Amino acid sequence: MATLSGKLAGITLPIDHFGLHLNTQGKVIVPELALRNFRYAGETLCDIWRRDLIFGKKVDAQYVEELSNPFENLEFEGTDKEKAEEQKQQKRKQEKGDDSPECFVPWSWIENHCNLCQYSLDIKHCTNTSCCGPPRAKEAMDFLFLNNGFLPPVTKAKDGHFTNAIHLLEYFDLMKIPGYDFHCPSLDQTAYSRLCYSACNKYFPTLTYLMNHKKTLHPVSRGRPKGKSREQNSRVLDDFSLLPSQQKQPLFDETYLRDCMSDKE
């Protein structure tokens, strides 16, 4: 997906090709029309993807119309307040006669298990055995624990190539690598800063997600904290982003060589 971000910059996918299916609040009011519009946008996106080569190989992208919900009948742990909100939503759906299967995912569960980006969704096992089962690959889970259980951000190196996520965890200082989605050319510095919550500098792909994060984990804070927010790292990695143990060391001590040289040298 990272290679497509540059090609998608400036492209607006049509959402109302067959007619408007949203009301003024952005809610779907004509589900059948929404599905037709979504299919048209998906086919348009597939047409763009088919033009993109991966290592010189052609890409076959097809729109798959899947109406079944893989998350149907799943139950997620949440707070009492979130459970009450789920019951309210179910009641409103019953009053409207809406019988479409939709799974309610509490935001507290998303905070503990998901990392949200523009073009990716990273889901991890938590350590609570009553919530998640035992991991299938414990070694990989322990390794990803270096980055809170998630893969590091997609990062471009100074020479223009995208780095290996495993190599980032092994050799680079995680405090110096760019943030999630910071490589996307469609996000400038100002827009990216607005999507990072200033109290913890955590990034979210939309302002709605950011506000949910604020209400859940920072309910006491009001507005932005005083002072400047932490400066963002560079968009690319260089040798200064390496861990001290991985940086190139001089073959000889510079001070020692200077003491051994004569004045004429």
CB atoms within 10 A of CB 92: 10
Q: Kindly tell me if the per-residue pLDDT of 67 is higher than 60.
A: yes
Contacting residues for 153 by C-beta, under 8 A, at least 6 apart: 117, 177, 178, 179, 180, 181, 182, 183
What pLDDT is attached to residue 97? 74
Compare 166 and 4 and report the one with higher pLDDT: 166
The answer to whether residue 81 is domain-embedded is no
Phi/psi at 167 (nearest 5 deg)? -65, -35
Q: Kindly tell me if the per-residue pLDDT of 198 is higher than 90.
A: no
Q: Kindly tell me if the per-residue pLDDT of 77 is higher than 60.
A: yes
Q: Kindly tell me if the per-residue pLDDT of 104 is higher than 50.
A: yes
Looking at the DSSP bridge assignments, the partners of residue 53 are none
The answer to whether residue 212 is domain-embedded is no
Q: Is the pTM higher than 0.85?
A: no
d(CA 241, CA 174): 8
Q: Kindly tell me if the per-residue pLDDT of 237 is higher than 70.
A: no
The answer to whether residue 21 is domain-embedded is yes
- Our count of domains for the chain comes to 1
Q: Kindly tell me if the per-residue pLDDT of 251 is higher than 70.
A: no
d(CA 132, CA 77): 10
Q: Helices (H), strands (E): how many in the chain? A: 9, 6
Compare 127 and 250 and report the one with higher pLDDT: 127
Give the up-direction half-sphere exposure of residue 217: CA atoms within 13 A in the CB hemisphere. Answer: 17
Tell me which range, 78-82, 90-94, 213-217, is most confidently predicted by mean pLDDT: 213-217
Tell me which range, 5-9, 63-67, 105-109, 176-180, is most confidently predicted by mean pLDDT: 105-109
The answer to whether residue 180 is domain-embedded is no
Confidence of residue 99 (pLDDT cuts 50, 70, 90): low
Can you give the residue range of the structural domain that contains 4? Answer: 1-67
121: enclosing H helix or E strand: strand 121-123
Per-residue CA distances from 133 to 55, 125, 129, 149, 248 (Å) = 37, 8, 6, 15, 43
The answer to whether residue 55 is domain-embedded is yes
Residue with structure tokens 């299967």? 101
Confidence of residue 258 (pLDDT cuts 50, 70, 90): very low
The answer to whether residue 14 is domain-embedded is yes
